[in-house]
Amino acid sequence: MSASNVQIRPSDLDDASQRELATFLEQEQAKARLQTSTHTFTEMCWDKCVTGSIGGRFSRSEESCLVNCVDRFLDTSLFIVKKLEQQRGA
């Protein structure tokens, strides 16, 4: 059976299968959100870290810049959330 253009209605599935599908879709959506963020970070960190000419491989500093770029962005995100919570608490 080809996987394209599968037509399916909820009534085609029993309750257990519907739940299984719902869980599956949730997981795939979570994965897709991670992928989208990865694309955004790659673009952002490319701009920050790959500033010189393009070679046959990354330099050690370019590689560590990419890693730091992601970690510091997430640190920033956590910092902002924490600060806002502090301000709201005060």
Contact 69, 43 (CB under 8 A): no
CB of 74 to other proteins, least distance (A): 6
- Report CA 13 to chain centroid distance, whole Å: 31
Which of residues 6 and 90 has its CB atom nearest to other proteins in the complex?
6
Which of residues 39 and 83 has its CB atom nearest to other proteins in the complex?
39
* Residue 49: count of CB within 10 angstroms of its CB: 19
Question: Phi, psi (5° rounding) for residue 53?
Answer: -80, 160
Interacting residues with other proteins (CB under 8 A): 1-6, 8, 12-14, 17, 20-21, 24-25, 28, 31-32, 34-39, 41-43, 45-46, 49-50, 54-58, 63, 66-67, 69-71, 74, 78
